[in-house]
Amino acid sequence: MRSTCLLIPFLISIISCNNSGDYTLVSEDGIFVEQFDSSNHNENKFNENNIIYKPGTKFRYSFEYLTPEDEKYYFKVHNQEWEFVKAEETDIATIKYVTIKVENGNPMSKQIPDYNQTVLCYKLGIDTLSSISWSGVIENEKNVWMHPPRDYLFSILELNPFPFIQAPYEIGNQWNWSLQIGSQWGDKRWKTWRTGITNKYLYEIVDKKIIQTEIGELACFVIDGRAKSELGETRLTSYFNPEYGFVRLNYVNIDSSKINFDLVKFED
């Protein structure tokens, strides 16, 4: 009888740990998200288990756009319209950086009551902010999935694989996902379409390597992501570090142009 009494609390502790305390993980079209009891009204419930994307943290990325001929460009915004800027013709208004800040609480719930992601704020530029927008990231023990920047030039990234890694974190792991994409993300500078299309994605962890970044040497999992739709194919090679998240993103776009992001600053 004594051994049984000692064993029961131990088993309860394991079950609580495996269930992560107060939520279960459910798959939504291939992405695992936290599902809480309807009585849980904590506005930080989707943030509290985050290890990387914790409220208040900031991630600053540099970026470059390369044409299919490998000519480097950036862009600038005027009156809500944007235009390309050659690398040798940039000025203070040119967008060269994107900062992503993790928000506290769940500000998106005012517009989307059942919003089940950690909210991210995206800011373009440093000295002159040309845009502020919001979207989200999902982080838990099963996967990390994140919206890329999608304002102005970055609308092109809606057709690419999103940054995404899924457990087990080991070379050879593969997973799938799909997404409906509306025509509002089109632009005559790369591709337009009339009705919604479906992107089908295939991801695979293909390598683990140490890379040099602006914040030091980081051990990263390398994820090869491929997307296919009736419009064509796109690709993302992402470098994921368990402490800093997606530290490098190399996109091949629908028109064979490229966009590269590198993490250059982290604030906790």
The per-residue pLDDT for 219 is 98
The per-residue pLDDT for 38 is 86
Task: Express as a percent the part of the chain with pLDDT over 70.
Answer: 90
The per-residue pLDDT for 126 is 77
Structure tokens, 49: 């288990």
The per-residue pLDDT for 193 is 94
Predicted confidence band at 128 (pLDDT cuts at 50, 70, 90)?
Answer: low
For Cα atoms 235, 239, 240, give the angle at the middle one, nearest 5 degrees.
125
Fold of 58-267: YmcC-like fold (2.40.360)
Using the predicted structure, report yes or no on whether residue 121 has a pLDDT greater than 70. yes
Dump pLDDT digits (tens) for 38-54. Answer: 889 899 999 999 999 99
The per-residue pLDDT for 21 is 58
CA distance 179 to 191: 18
Task: Give the DSSP H/E element, type plus range, for residue 17.
Answer: helix 2-18
Dump pLDDT digits (tens) for 62-104. Answer: 999 999 999 999 999 988 899 999 999 999 999 999 999 999 9
Using the predicted structure, report yes or no on whether residue 205 has a pLDDT greater than 70. yes
Q: Which residues contact 222 (CB under 8 A, 6 or more apart)?
A: 205, 206, 207, 208, 209, 237, 238, 239, 240
The per-residue pLDDT for 3 is 32
CA distance 96 to 252: 18
CA atoms within 13 A on the CB side of 265: 11
Predicted confidence band at 118 (pLDDT cuts at 50, 70, 90)?
Answer: very high
Predicted confidence band at 127 (pLDDT cuts at 50, 70, 90)?
Answer: low
Q: How many CB atoms lie within 10 A of CB 88?
A: 6
Query: Distances in Å between the alpha carbon of 154 and those of 84, 143, 168, 185, 242?
Result: 12, 24, 30, 9, 25
- Candidate ranges 7-11, 16-20, 123-127, 163-167; pick with highest mean pLDDT: 163-167
* Domain chopping of the chain, boundaries: 2-36, 58-267
The per-residue pLDDT for 129 is 67
Using the predicted structure, report yes or no on whether residue 125 has a pLDDT greater than 70. yes
CA dihedral 204, 206, 209, 214 (to 10 degrees): -50
Dump pLDDT digits (tens) for 129-162. Answer: 667 899 999 999 999 999 999 999 999 999 999 9
Using the predicted structure, report yes or no on whether residue 165 has a pLDDT greater than 80. yes
